[in-house]
Structure 1
Amino acid sequence: MRNLFPIAAFMVGGFMQLCLQPMQPVSAQASISQPVNIPAIKPYQPKATAANRLTYQQDQLQNLVPENFDVNRYPISDRNAERWQNILWTVTVLSPQTDFVAQALDNILALTANPKLTDKQKSVVDSAMQVGTQLYLSNPGFYANVGRHFVQTIEYSSDSQWVAMSLSALAKSRIPPSNLKQLGLRVQQRFPNWRQDVFLYTTLQNLSSSQTAKAIPPLTDLLAWQIAPGQPQMYVLCQPNREILCLAVAKDGNGRFMEQNGQLWSVPLLLQSIHRLEWNFYRGQTPQGIYRIEGLEPQPDDEVFRAYGQFPLVKLFLPYEDGAQEFLPNRKGKFTGNLQTYQTLLPPTWRNYFPIQQSYWAGKIGRSLFRIHGTGEAIDFFRVKTNPTIDSYYWNPTLGCLSALELYDRNGQLQQADVPKVLNILSLLGKGKIAGYLIVVEVPSRTGGQISPMEVREAIARSK
């Protein structure tokens, strides 16, 4: 893959109303008797103190000066590629509304039509496309030139990834449907073999799905389904608006959903890309679909504390991703096969529902390294978060991973963390082994907010 991540890469990712009947007892549930495998918690984390965080924020702000964005002083060349990657990460963090940033993006995005770029130059354009999407969607008026470059990219670029990303960003900006339809047709005209290009195919499928909304299959079928008998499953239920927190629930290998203290076991997670990219691009939001849960990645050291927090990371594998010991039940090694093979892992009513195939296509694209992790970064570090009243404000966005709450006070003392809850339940279900399946699915809540445990319990009861 040509996508060369800068230093921040370690952060790496229809409709149906739920049952409205009164709450029913859920007979097939298992109770958690006691926590297991609680990871050691550092009582004090120096990088989480207010003073240390202020210093780090100031370091980022010092990068945000006009001379750093001068393409005449720092041409988009192999020599300056890493420098531009780091500068564009500062833009990602601070999400500025400044003329010199807009001008730099204008100059970089103009290169999408250049067929003679080196791999390092392409990596800078990749980052500019990602950051450009983030800024354009946050303020399409101020960053209107970014939108115009997206249109020009569709018209003239030979790079299918940039063309697909441009079309996707314009679709999310809510341009008139007639204009969007024309742009989609133009892409198909310029790329007659678009069905064989995974970026173009998935983007055009996304557009088709959004324009002709197809009812989501019965959630009860998905909740009752066992991918592999005897293996645990975790469901992460999201809303189409990924600014709203998702809800994770878990069941054991016998299909019994877990309870704790008489309540359905659950943990809120954020599955939003900081760039607001769609799921079918590097650094995009977490795809819907099936993941293999397999093992933990120890928190390496304090150098990456800001990205991961202090707890071990749960490793998730996509189809085709190297490293999985047994993606398909009773078949050693990573996923092998095709879409039909993937579909057999789903209940029959879900097999032809395109959104639940996202993890399959993301694996085909080459996305990888998905994790469930906390975050040691301050909640106000990413300026892309502008609404402190929304519940997800306390969770930090990622580059595709599933983000769990992890909060520290100004003295670096841990106040709250949900990663240990996830580690405990997976260890309990696996009898000390971390292995099973995770399914991400978007199911709008009847209240319009986060999916509630009560709604999930009602759906579980209906699935019996």
Structure 2
Amino acid sequence: MNAQLRPSPQRFLRTLACLLTGATVLVALPAQPQMIVLQATAAARVKQREQQVQQIRPDRYDLTRYPITDANERYWRNLLWSTAITEPQSAVVDATIAQILSLTARQRLSNAQRRTVEMAMQVGTQLYLSNPTQYEGIKQQFQQTIKRGNAEWAAMSLSALVQGGAAVEDRKQWSDRLQQRFPQWRNNPYLFTTLEAVGSLDRPRKTPPLKDLLNWTIAPGQLQMYVICRPDRGTVCQTILKDRRGQFVRQKGELWSVPLLTRSLHGLASIFTRGQTPQGLYRIEGSIPQPDTEFFRAYGTFALVNLFVPFEAGVKAFDRPGQGNLSAYQSLLPPSWRNEVSMQQSYWAGRAGRGLFRIHGSGEAPTFFTNNSRYPTSAGWNPTIGCLSALELYDQTGRLQQADMPKILNALTSVGGQNFTGYLIVVEIPDPANVPLSIEEIEAAIAL
């Protein structure tokens, strides 16, 4: 989902009725509406940012006045969200979040307390990765959580510490500690994927040929969309599309392509809620329109494309022969990719309970999220908390200037019909410079 406090799925689905439009041939794109959105005006943007900055005053982080109780859940979720938006470099924030994280060792927490601690783990990861030196207190609590926290939080702590540049001997020691604490770690999606990812740092594997993935048919008569990324999620991905006959969609002889961003605001690994968009397979099941200004900042103006991972409620088909086990999932991939662990991320994310993935735009200004400034190569795109973000820009008067969601929706309905269905594949192709994959490189892989 987009980097906003997620509305309840029931409320979101009630608000948005199904809207699908169709065409038979990919031709000229429909004109974008020359709309003006009041929430996108310069004055509204300034006011919104000021409200977030006001939230993070030092006195707001006083745990004596605002203890982690059920009654204060909304308070802390709002404050932690403002903290994620603004990324304050503050000793007060470090000390407070570290104190909240100390609750990971407590055996009994209410559901509300658990939700607050969970969000503190997510935002704490983001802050630590933004400046490991500044957030030493959070680092120390991550180390304590490895020793005493539950499996999910311990795995999240290890993942954060490794991403923050942990030494080889430290990550080995922490990995060994988790395997000793949780002898059945292979049966836990959080521990299994995290420990596998940490271990692979010392035994890197060669990525299988991209051509095998591009030339593979997952299921006959189904469209296939590819989102080809770099390991640095601050780099935009290239999106291409196959029609239901297995032919790549082209315009004026060139591959149809739209850039998307798959970076999570929090920088969490893909197994964790609100983490990076997982690599692997998704089921595409039509779209949901977004006409309501209540959700404008979260999702922009245009319809959202529905994506489902294995095990997610509502998914209609993970064909040949189903979604219930890893071997069935692997059978949907070409032989050379079936043992590629990175391509199993969406499977494990589904096993861990992640869902509600979408392709959508964003009504937020690119300057709204402080950490966007650290990713100049994707200027204009906003992060999400798991979804795929399309470009959507407005001028100071709130008038739409540029948007890629209409291109995506037009392409999908043109090749997939009114009720388009198919598969989406997210894949990372390593590159030392982390520059976006060019259309020429993709064309060369297809031709091999």
Q: What's the TM-score bracket when you normalise by the shorter of the two chains?
A: over 0.9
Q: Offset of 1:174 from its aligned partner?
A: 1.3
Q: Offset of 1:10 from its aligned partner?
A: 4.8
Identify the match of residue 294 of structure 1 among 285, 288, 300.
285
**In 2, Cα distance between the equivalents of 1:81 and 1:220?**
49
Q: Is the 8 A contact 1:199 1:365 kept in 2?
A: yes
Q: Offset of 1:386 from its aligned partner?
A: 2.2
1:345 lines up with 2:332 in the alignment: yes
Q: Is the 8 A contact 1:405 1:416 kept in 2?
A: yes
Instruction: Indicate the residue corresponding to 2:13 in structure 1.
Output: none
Compute the TM-score of the two structures, normalised by the length of structure 1. Answer: 0.90
1:370 lines up with 2:362 in the alignment: no
1:394 lines up with 2:375 in the alignment: no
Instruction: Indicate the residue corresponding to 1:437 in structure 2.
Output: 423
Per-residue deviation, residues 330-354 of structure 1 (Å, max 9, x unmatched): x7xxx54200110110111111111
Q: Secondary structure at the match of 2:370?
A: coil
Q: Offset of 1:80 from its aligned partner?
A: 0.4
Instruction: Indicate the residue corresponding to 2:77 in structure 1.
Output: 85
**In 2, Cα distance between the equivalents of 1:255 and 1:446?**
31
**In 1, Cα distance between the equivalents of 2:291 and 2:219?**
32
Q: Offset of 1:315 from its aligned partner?
A: 0.3
Instruction: Indicate the residue corresponding to 2:48 in structure 1.
Output: 56
Instruction: Indicate the residue corresponding to 2:211 in structure 1.
Output: 220
Q: Is the 8 A contact 1:298 1:313 kept in 2?
A: yes
Instruction: Indicate the residue corresponding to 2:94 in structure 1.
Output: 102
Instruction: Indicate the residue corresponding to 1:356 in structure 2.
Output: 343
Instruction: Indicate the residue corresponding to 1:162 in structure 2.
Output: 153
Instruction: Indicate the residue corresponding to 1:147 in structure 2.
Output: 139
Q: Secondary structure at the match of 1:277?
A: coil
Q: Secondary structure at the match of 2:71?
A: coil
Q: Offset of 1:155 from its aligned partner?
A: 1.0
**In 1, Cα distance between the equivalents of 2:307 and 2:295?**
19
Q: Is the 8 A contact 1:444 1:451 kept in 2?
A: no
Question: What's the C-alpha RMSD, in Å, of the aligned pairs?
Answer: 1.9
Identify the match of residue 280 of structure 1 among 256, 271, 278.
271
Per-residue deviation, residues 87-134 of structure 1 (Å, max 9, x unmatched): 000001001112221121121011111111111111111001000000
Give the AA of the match of 2:412: L
Structure 1 residues 54 and 11: CA distance shift in structure 2, 3 A: farther
Q: Is the 8 A contact 1:387 1:393 kept in 2?
A: no
**In 2, Cα distance between the equivalents of 1:447 and 1:111?**
40
Instruction: Indicate the residue corresponding to 1:189 in structure 2.
Output: 180
Q: Offset of 1:210 from its aligned partner?
A: 2.3
Instruction: Indicate the residue corresponding to 1:28 in structure 2.
Output: none
Q: Is the 8 A contact 1:11 1:401 kept in 2?
A: no
Q: Secondary structure at the match of 2:70?
A: coil
Q: Is the 8 A contact 2:223 2:242 kept in 1?
A: yes
Per-residue deviation, residues 44-64 of structure 1 (Å, max 9, x unmatched): 111110011111111111111
Give 5+ residue unaligned stretches, structure 1. Answer: 13-30
Instruction: Indicate the residue corresponding to 1:414 in structure 2.
Output: 400
Per-residue deviation, residues 151-196 of structure 1 (Å, max 9, x unmatched): 1111122x11100000000110111111110100000011111111
Structure 1 residues 152 and 270: CA distance shift in structure 2, 3 A: same
Q: Is the 8 A contact 1:231 1:252 kept in 2?
A: yes
Identify the match of residue 64 of structure 2 among 54, 69, 72.
72
Structure 1 residues 39 and 286: CA distance shift in structure 2, 3 A: farther
Q: Offset of 1:199 from its aligned partner?
A: 0.8
**In 2, Cα distance between the equivalents of 1:186 and 1:370?**
33
Structure 1 residues 33 and 108: CA distance shift in structure 2, 3 A: closer
Q: Offset of 1:39 from its aligned partner?
A: 8.4
Q: Secondary structure at the match of 1:315?
A: strand
Percent identity over the alignment is 49
Q: Is the 8 A contact 2:26 2:410 kept in 1?
A: no
**In 1, Cα distance between the equivalents of 2:183 and 2:153?**
16
Aligned length: 433
- Between 104-113 and 367-376, report the one with greater CA deviation: 104-113
Instruction: Indicate the residue corresponding to 2:106 in structure 1.
Output: 114
Structure 1 residues 291 and 204: CA distance shift in structure 2, 3 A: same
Give the AA of the match of 1:115: Q
Structure 1 residues 146 and 301: CA distance shift in structure 2, 3 A: same
1:260 lines up with 2:251 in the alignment: yes
Q: Is the 8 A contact 1:6 1:86 kept in 2?
A: no
**In 2, Cα distance between the equivalents of 1:103 and 1:11?**
31
Instruction: Indicate the residue corresponding to 1:25 in structure 2.
Output: none
Q: Secondary structure at the match of 1:47?
A: strand
Q: Is the 8 A contact 1:6 1:82 kept in 2?
A: no
**In 2, Cα distance between the equivalents of 1:411 and 1:444?**
40
Q: Is the 8 A contact 2:36 2:400 kept in 1?
A: yes
**In 2, Cα distance between the equivalents of 1:11 and 1:414?**
28
Compute the TM-score of the two structures, normalised by the length of structure 2. Answer: 0.93
**In 2, Cα distance between the equivalents of 1:161 and 1:396?**
27
